[in-house]
Amino acid sequence: MADRTTVLITGANRGIGRGLTEAYLSRPDHTVIAAVRDPSSATAQSLHSVPAAPRSKVHVIKIDSASDKDAAEAIRTVQDLGIRHLDVVIANAGIAEVFETVDQINPDKFRTLFEVNTLGPVKLFGAVFPLLKAAAEIKGVVKYAAIGTVAASTANVEANKATMLGSYGASKAALSHLVRRAQFENDWLTAVVVSPGWAQTDMGNAGARLFGMEKAVVPVKDSAEGIIKVLDNATRETAAGAGGFWEYDGTPLTY
């Protein structure tokens, strides 16, 4: 159906990914492809119980961002479900388990961050590319989004130095560059990066505790709804003109 919106979200069973899944399912006529590392896990299985608006539904599939094969295999699964196009793809899955200064960078941990945070979304983009292009031919508007971070902004390194997220920020900065290239390499695509804010996820709360805080600042629901609003409003023109990098509340960010 041309009026149905199909959305694929990675890391959909926890944190921001789950918030996005719940928010899209609350809209009528939406099919959500919820990609998770382990579809048999309790958190993944619980996605089937998320309340859905009329004619909306969820499919849970496997994508481990560290795998070289999962994304391509997942898209074959999506096609087996009868889905021939994707309107919105959100590369949300990521890790940020390293807090260190540049002189302390551990090469193995650094490589892992890039494998998951940078290469994962790139492999995903390659896999979903034909289904995004098919949606563009049907509807004319398709969107590929990556969840970024203000820690990736070179312009704001001094303000963010206390977070000790240099390795994480570098992996997301490389991702931001590639997402922006995708925007200009494909004249039918709107490609953006959105920072979720300091959200109250496992990742965000762990960082907050390092600074003596009980939890992070932004409720997951607010972050997810803000991200979706940014995507709803994004166009090729605004993405090109604003640099395609926004905070979840719509504030333009600088790379």
Cβ-contact 88, 132 below 8 angstroms? no
With 70 as the cut, is the pLDDT of residue 11 above it?
A: yes
What pLDDT shows up at residue 1?
47
With 70 as the cut, is the pLDDT of residue 157 above it?
A: yes
For 61-70, 170-179, 182-191, 238-247, which range has the lowest pLDDT when averaged over its residues? 238-247
Tokens representing residue 218 in the block = 């932004």
Cβ-contact 21, 50 below 8 angstroms? yes
Domains of the chain (ranges; CATH) run 5-95+117-148+174-196+220-247 (3.40.50.720)
Under the banding of pLDDT at 50, 70 and 90, the label for residue 2 is low
pLDDT, tens digit (0-9, with 9 covering 90-100), for 215-247: 999 999 999 999 999 999 999 999 988 789 999
Instruction: Report the chain's C-alpha Rg in angstroms.
Output: 17
With 90 as the cut, is the pLDDT of residue 76 above it?
A: yes
In 3D space, the residue among 185, 113, 184, 107 whose CA is nearest the CA of residue 149 turns out to be 113
Mean pLDDT (whole number) for 102-123: 97
Query: Which residues have a catalytic role annotated?
Result: 168, 172
What is the rounded average pLDDT for all residues in the chain? 95
pLDDT, tens digit (0-9, with 9 covering 90-100), for 15-65: 999 999 999 999 999 999 999 999 999 999 999 999 999 999 999 999 999
Under the banding of pLDDT at 50, 70 and 90, the label for residue 78 is very high
Q: Measured in Å, how far apart are the chain's first and last C-alpha atoms? A: 38
Whole-structure pTM value: 0.96
